[in-house]
Structure 1
Amino acid sequence: MGVSSLIIDSHLHVFFSKKQPWRPLVEETLHHMDMAGITQTCLLPDPQWTGTFYPSKDEMMFQAETLSEIASAFPGRFLPMLFICPLLPHDFTLDLMERYMMKGPLVGAKFHVSLYADDDKYEPIYSFLERHDLPLLFHAWYKTVEHYAYESNPSHIAVAARKHPNLRILMAHLTGSKLRGIMDIKKYPNVSIDTSGSQPEEGYVQRALEELGPDRVLYGSDYPIRAFSTQRARIESVEMSKEAREKVLYGNAQRFFRKGTEQ
């Protein structure tokens, strides 16, 4: 089967806050990454680091500055994504994106649970990301219980992808989206999926590879909510070619987590 010597995790959190300094959390994360053979990771803050899904302007600035500090302290290990609240004034949000993505170290945007992904309030932000060829990671999940208000499911992601065919989207949580989610995004080649979400369940990675192809499936753990070991096992337990495995473990992430200026 073989194990790649280069692995990029496409879904990882560091739960820093104004009360919880980032450095000990990052150092612990790096220790676990090294133990698991993870070379580099996407870096997502806790979407509820302020206790709400709707941060203030000051809280957004704190997050952007902290992510920039982490990227500077550990070059080459993290691909930081700015959590964006679409309810803040668009002028502020677009200025923040220009300063910290276009001209700074942040790679792209992360949306969690603020509004459904097909809401018109996202339009100026989607257009900015599409125009500048910046990646977007969007939380999505099909749930019957414990569903948050305004928590997007894959059908919402599909609407955004159809309206913005050049917007590069990574839909989070294969095991939360399941087969229904795979089929929702199948006809939109600008949408990929990461393999995180809940505990591993047999068959979903294989089905994603069959329906979407190996170019649209990215390994992701959702660490520290899930352990690297069990999430790696999702990939290592599936029969696939060496080329496909390399794409899932790092090649697709290298293509996705880049700025348009880095082509």
Structure 2
Amino acid sequence: MKLPKFEIWDLHCHFSGVEGKTVDERLPKLIEYADRMNVQRLVFFMGWPWSTTPDPDEFRKQNDQVIQGLSHWHDRAFGFAYLNAQYVEESLAEIDRCIANGPLVGIKMWVSRRCRDEELDAIVQRTAELNGIIFQHTWSKVTGNLDGESTPEDLAKLAKRNPEVPIICGHSGGDWERGIRAVRDSPNVSIGIGGFDPTAGIVEMGVRELGAERVIYGSDIGGRSLSSQLAKVYGAQISDAAKERIFGKNLREMMTPILKAKGVTL
């Protein structure tokens, strides 16, 4: 069966899963994989080695890796700045360096500090002023989360304090049935569906409970394969119009204001 062709934007990419000592060696290989799977645009964040609680020097170094990687691929790739919310002032400075005065178009927050903490509001608000995308990792683990690891419930609290700011719930919380319910009443929150097993039903539930306009495709390459993550959407029992939104239209619309401000022509 020939699959319908969609414009695909991948929200969630890393420089892992391929060989290479530098981003300039790794990124072309990831683009090659994307070409095989008809993925037109990719968003990268975090360099290496990964750190759950990087100090400012470390997250600046990783963001420089991303900026370097994108320098040859402006037609295909975008980048978010990796921040550590334990360092609010330094994170605000990094937003200005990388987004206001640099090429990056959003932020990624991982597991350093739970996003329910009010101190994150300054980071969220500054990013929103620049029309930057806000991506917050979330997970709900049976074995217990890391000390600073946010849950979708934490994200719902952040979203309630900042109701006008679009925010992406990374991984849909891992336990996606719980995660979708946790953010259902937060209309400014979309779910990213990348980075967990391609279990049947995730996309259908997301569309049913949130609407197709609040579900965004991502893969989490190279921790996950493009094919397994694309299958979540291709195999979903939803309309092609909904798949079109999830695969690319939602993220493209979300990113359009900041891309226009940076003079990016799509």
Q: Fold match, TM over 0.5?
A: yes
**Contact 1:134/1:258, CA 8 A, preserved across alignment:** no
Separation in structure 2 between the aligned mates of residue 201 and residue 175 of structure 1, nearest angstrom: 14
Separation in structure 2 between the aligned mates of residue 78 and residue 132 of structure 1, nearest angstrom: 19
Q: Deviations over 1:196-224 (max 9, x none)?
A: 23211111110110000010001111111
**Contact 1:133/1:167, CA 8 A, preserved across alignment:** no
Unaligned stretches of 5+ in structure 2? 262-266
Separation in structure 2 between the aligned mates of residue 9 and residue 218 of structure 1, nearest angstrom: 9
SS of structure 1 residue aligned to 2:177:
helix
Residues 175 and 52 from structure 1, CA distance in 2 versus in 1: closer, same or farther, beyond 3 angstroms? closer
Give the alignment of 1:17-96 within 5 angstroms. Answer: 20-46=21-47, 49-50=48-49, 52-90=51-89, 92-96=90-94
Separation in structure 2 between the aligned mates of residue 57 and residue 99 of structure 1, nearest angstrom: 13
**Contact 2:114/2:148, CA 8 A, preserved across alignment:** yes
- Tell me the equivalent position of 1:201: 199
Q: Deviations over 1:92-139 (max 9, x none)?
A: 322221121012110110000001111133122122123333210011
The runs of at least 4 aligned residues of structure 1 exceeding 4 Å deviation read 258-261
Residues 193 and 221 from structure 1, CA distance in 2 versus in 1: closer, same or farther, beyond 3 angstroms? same
Residues 146 and 3 from structure 1, CA distance in 2 versus in 1: closer, same or farther, beyond 3 angstroms? farther
Give the alignment of 1:1-263 within 5 angstroms. Answer: 2-15=3-16, 20-46=21-47, 49-50=48-49, 52-90=51-89, 92-145=90-143, 147-174=145-172, 176-260=174-258, 262=260
Q: Deviations over 1:152-189 (max 9, x none)?
A: 11000000000001221111113713111101111111
For residue 199 of structure 1, what is the amino acid of its counterpart? D
Residues 117 and 42 from structure 1, CA distance in 2 versus in 1: closer, same or farther, beyond 3 angstroms? same
Aligned length: 258
Separation in structure 1 between the aligned mates of residue 224 and residue 258 of structure 2, nearest angstrom: 31
Separation in structure 2 between the aligned mates of residue 65 and residue 213 of structure 1, nearest angstrom: 36
Residues 106 and 259 from structure 1, CA distance in 2 versus in 1: closer, same or farther, beyond 3 angstroms? farther
Root-mean-square deviation over aligned CA pairs: 2.1
TM-score (norm. length: structure 1): 0.91
For residue 245 of structure 2, what is the amino acid of its counterpart? K
